[in-house]
Structure 1
Amino acid sequence: MHKYLLAVVFCWLALGANAERAEFQVVLKNNRFSPAEVQVPANSLLWLVIENKGDSAEEFTSKDLHRGKIIAAGKTEKIKIGPLKAGSYHFSGAFNPETAQGVVIAK
């Protein structure tokens, strides 16, 4: 019984240590993401923190990251991503796809 309890506590502590996610800030203004290129560590859990400083809502969308989220004007949203293999992952604004473009590069 004690070995089982010790194993559960150890796993809980290990998961807690790994639960922290680095945050990467992106600003949406004038229908553009800035920075448009976000470099992140590969094989890590992280947050993209998107702040919409525009006058209208935008939908962050990424088929590569399997994520989508509407971000109201003047609001900030956190989007969980990762762990990502090394590579490039494109994202865009669904309402302004011509200008609202970006890429996450995992290294």
Structure 2
Amino acid sequence: MRFPRIFAASLLAFVTATAAVAAHAADLPTFKLEMADGKLSPARIEVPAGQRFKIEVRNTGKGAVEFESVQLRKEKVLAPGAESFVVIAPQSPGEYKFFDDFHQQAQGVIVAK
């Protein structure tokens, strides 16, 4: 009977940790980004320097999109109509480029101030 207790304890720890991460992400400064068939809105996002933040990404286009930033080491693929988010670690003041990897003309910048 020891296995069910260990499994239950492990499951409880996992659920608690997942809920804690989700709750913490909800408290972050949040910015919205809409991606649609090679267009970004807004193409410039100003964020606080030295602080974690969240970007909520929504694909309103007819094809897949990919939020990608080489400098920030983030990428997220979204199907048409999908929504998701990325959490970015604290950044020094400066500009950080991002783009839609499926539509190379869609270029944006995150400005940490």
TM-score with structure 1 setting the length: 0.79
Runs of 4+ in 1 over 6 A off after TM superposition: 16-19
Distance change in 2, residues 1:96/1:78 (3 Å): same
Kindly report which structure 2 residues correspond to 1:5-84, keeping only aligned pairs within 5 A, or say none.
20-84=27-91
Q: Secondary structure at 1:97's aligned position in 2?
A: strand
The equivalent of 2:8 in structure 1 is none
Query: What do the CA deviations read for 1:66-98 (whole angstroms, capped 9, x no partner)?
Result: 101101110111001020110000000111112
Kindly report which structure 2 residues correspond to 1:81-100, keeping only aligned pairs within 5 A, or say none.
81-98=88-105, 100=106
Percent sequence identity over aligned pairs: 33
User: What are the ranges of 5 or more consecutive residues in structure 1 without an aligned counterpart?
Assistant: 1-15
CA distance in 2, matches of 1:54, 1:64: 25
Q: CA deviation at 1:31?
A: 1.3
CA distance in 2, matches of 1:70, 1:46: 19
| Higher helix residue share | 2
2:38 partner amino acid:
N
Q: CA deviation at 1:59?
A: 1.1
CA distance in 2, matches of 1:101, 1:84: 19
User: What are the ranges of 5 or more consecutive residues in structure 2 without an aligned counterpart?
Assistant: 1-22
The equivalent of 1:105 in structure 2 is 111
TM-score with structure 2 setting the length: 0.75
